[in-house]
Structure 1
């Protein structure tokens, strides 16, 4: 019998392996809703995590997410953890001066966002495709890049800094 998953990345990819065609999420898409399978989520998270690795995000690095809750927010959060980094969630209504202080004090090296923000390099959630493309290029050269990071994540790994 397989050992049960004990980390967020392992829980995610165990689910992807068990039910790749099952619906994972529904999210707004224009005037309608779009259904996303676990397989699609796994592919996108892998590509995004590889993109983060390709941009030099090291294990344990702090990466902020300051945006309204969305499917893209979830993908960013999962990709950060699968890259071995730590998510720093920032409530989107936080005043700009407080956002700057949170980013500075948390040591965030990159921020996923849906709005202009002070400090740190920004990655806009509506442009995740660019990071996915970067990740796919990295995976073509190093197919195990994300798996190696996931293997380094333990139950003691900090996933979120609040």
Structure 2
């Protein structure tokens, strides 16, 4: 079964918009971590898990979230803030550039995606999580779609230039 070129390009555009929204969330999340105190993070996690832990005191997800918040050191918070903000901002700038058809942005976007994927795979050597695996798989799909779109645009421009000669 062959997928229509227009459908591939449409999926790529939708994935870019989703990646842009995710990038905005990372930027705001990074900024929030700069201004939130450790105490407020623990209070938020406690409020978020309270009902679940009252129902089942051994709930794995709720206990993991609560312990993670309590063990979230100032260094870990600083790193998370820096990582989320910079990661989100880089992706956001590149997504906007690609969405506005800046041809230079495609190789930069592809290179950034390869770098992010490589880092995520590196992180998986320490701790494999469902979220990290899922994000990495989605990033791989977006990377393949970006490469396809870049090749399509380059072919289209080459054909246009041949037509003008």
Which bracket does the TM-score occupy, shorter chain normalised?
Answer: under 0.3
**Quick one: higher RCO (CA 8 Å, sep 6+), 1 or 2?**
2
TM-score (norm 1): 0.25
Structure showing greater radius of gyration is: 2
Write 1 or 2 for the structure with the bigger share of helix.
2
TM-score by length of 2: 0.25
Write 1 or 2 for the structure with the bigger share of strand: 1
